[in-house]
Structure 1
Amino acid sequence: MPVYLDHAATTPVLPEAIEAYTRALTQVGNPSSIHSAGQNAKRMLEDARERIADTLGCQGIELVLTSGGTEAINLAIKGLFWSRRQSGATRILVPEGEHHATLDTVEWLESYEGAEVEWIPLDAQGFVRMDALEASLRRDTSSIALVTFLWANNEVGTIQPAERIIALAASVGVPVHIDAVSAYGHLPIDFAGMRARTASKALSGLVALSVSAHKIGGPIGAGGLVLSRDATVVPLIHGGGQQRQVRSGTQDVAAAAAFAAAATKAHAERASEAQRLTSLRDRLIAGVRAAVPNAVLSGPDPVGREPGGSEPDRADARLVSNAHFTFPGCQGDSLLFLLDAAGVEVSTGSACQAGIPEPSHVLLAMGRSEDDAGSALRITLGRTSTDADVDAFLAALPDAYAQASRAGLATRESSLGAR
């Protein structure tokens, strides 16, 4: 049986989620109907909404259920932009290295809706350059529609200082959306608490947060947008207004029930899983360095913390499930295929860009070269990961790397000969 180490792409559905989904499917009734079957469905739906909301630190009424993280991100960014544009705010502040759900959304708004996208640089470890963000926020503040950022990077695992970013935006009256899809299940999320701790001006600071079910053991095709009561967004979908007039459409009770089951379990076990996965991740990182000494870890280094520095906590600002390396002299795709042939499944980056032979935009944003960005491998752990999985990966890596390096050398020699 293959060793699965691509949990950042999706993680196996929890048995509890499958059971909740199949049980809900046996119940007839549209939750918008007023007869008994409809009201039973509504009770099941609202119970699920409240349970998910509990794991996010928000009220049930604030949780808009969606078809996944991508829709939630689109609704937050487009909806906030369209609403704020009515008062002349057209600038969107976006860090480089975001997920394509955000990148493609803001670029579409720039092409078709008059948005002015301002890219905030990252440093070499993938952190947002706070000085650059602050400078952008202080310049012509009234023209800023929103700030959106990825809390935990889906490729290199860097965890942004979310409350510092929110507080900066709140201090000048700018609303913030957080893409928490990769953070959910790994970091404690307290929407209300974060708003309270960073509050400054009304209708500013944290107003929206996106999550997805399939990253935490729920079904693919379910997600949510936490939207504060005081936020105003223009909807993407019209026709019924079932969820606060923000999202229309008959609500999927079964998907919500499965999402709630996964969220409840992931939330209850988050702390213990974090400790277990941290140990596996650090052993994996150390093992890669021993097997391939010239491999370079991308993002914060939890194993090789350097003493001193102004922000000593940054070494810990890495997802417990993520190990991301570049392997000089070979292509990440080659390594992936060779490892797959050896029975170990990993990735080169975001699954949303899988199959497209382009260097990682995240690594380029971090200042790495195109060669480096094309030699990346992302290994991500999850609930089913074990010591044996890490052992299998480390056992397969040296031979795969040697073969990929020979292929890379042959390609370079052929290219030089052609000149």
Structure 2
Amino acid sequence: MNKFQTPIVRPLAETIGTPIVQRDRRQLLGHATALPGPAIGTEELCERISRNFSIPTHRHVRVIAPRLAVHRRHLCRDFTSAQEAPRPSSRNPELAAQAVSLALNRANIPVSALAYLISHTATPAQLLPGGSAEIARLLGYTGPHVELRQACTGFANALQFAFALTSHADAAPVAIVGVETGSVYFSPELLQRDSSQWINFLQMGDGAAAVIIGARREVDPASLIAKQDGSSSAQKWISHAYFGQCQQAPAAGLRLAFGGSDRSAAPTGPLYFEHDFTSVAKHGAMLLDAGREVLRKHGIDIHQADFIVPHQASGAVAPWLAKYWDIPIDRISRHAQEVGNLGSASIWAALDHAITSRQQVTVSPPNTNMAERRCIFLGAEATQYSYGGFVLED
């Protein structure tokens, strides 16, 4: 047994819980991503830290960065000072509104047609009011909205709401947007006293991504026209949306300990993510295995998928998963190599990238019927050891 074939850890695997699975399907009407500013490469970012804060970075660039395989990312801040707010137009709700607006344009739907606006994030602009209120104002949306305070599986929880809201054939569409501006929860000064912060620093990215979910309503193929953005005009469907959470899970692998009512007084210095990388490494594969098992029970074999999108924690996930599950690496998303770990926005951004770049058809797919392609999305979250995902069909 090699290092990529680690068995599922117990007893945690025995408390995986019973997931909720939606057996119906919904239309994917639109999708889009909004990233703050130009991409910045790893070497350039480390040089900026070294220059502005007199922190040696060469060894970490040489040793840690290749293991994480994040080549570039987009950031909402400039790292000219230790603690910064996001740049104008790169704030959390602003990025979210940009992504939703782009997705609505792609779907050719006015914001007034939405039945609901759902946002999810682990890095809100403020604790109260919820960020969805400002997103709605920026969009000119006057309907109901809600913000889910959740990280990497926020998309899966939001889908459960969206499926319920669009259960009738004549239901109005729902917008979902995941957004993170986590780079501000970090100070370069932390690198000098907490070595684990190097991983946060080198793998994180900021951004937002949105989808528009519609009811199951068949569309006349003759009404479909080519889109100017080059994306496919074929109908796309989200099916087998599932969400599950470990019972009796270990302590959170990622958390922001201060800012809530338990610890309202911030410590001296900046708020930052506390990351238990040992726990995440120990249990992370189990969450992906749980998602794979959910789909297997519903007749979906990951080896028959045309493309697989695991949570993009880093650029190293794809080569690791290729060996762990014995899948050609060309059928696994490596989106994090270009944008870093986008947290709550990760899956939606990877979906947008997979569709617009047509990654899922760059290799000969295992499915013989090219008219029915399947892309599997698998989310995993260490904050509460939850898992979720769905299947994209077209």
TM-score computed with the length of structure 1 as normaliser = 0.26
Greater RCO, 1 or 2 (C-alpha within 8 Å, sep 6+)? 2
Bigger Rg, structure 1 or 2: 1
Larger fraction in helix: 1
Q: What TM-score results when the alignment is normalised by the length of structure 2?
A: 0.27
Q: Higher strand fraction: Structure 1 or Structure 2? A: 2
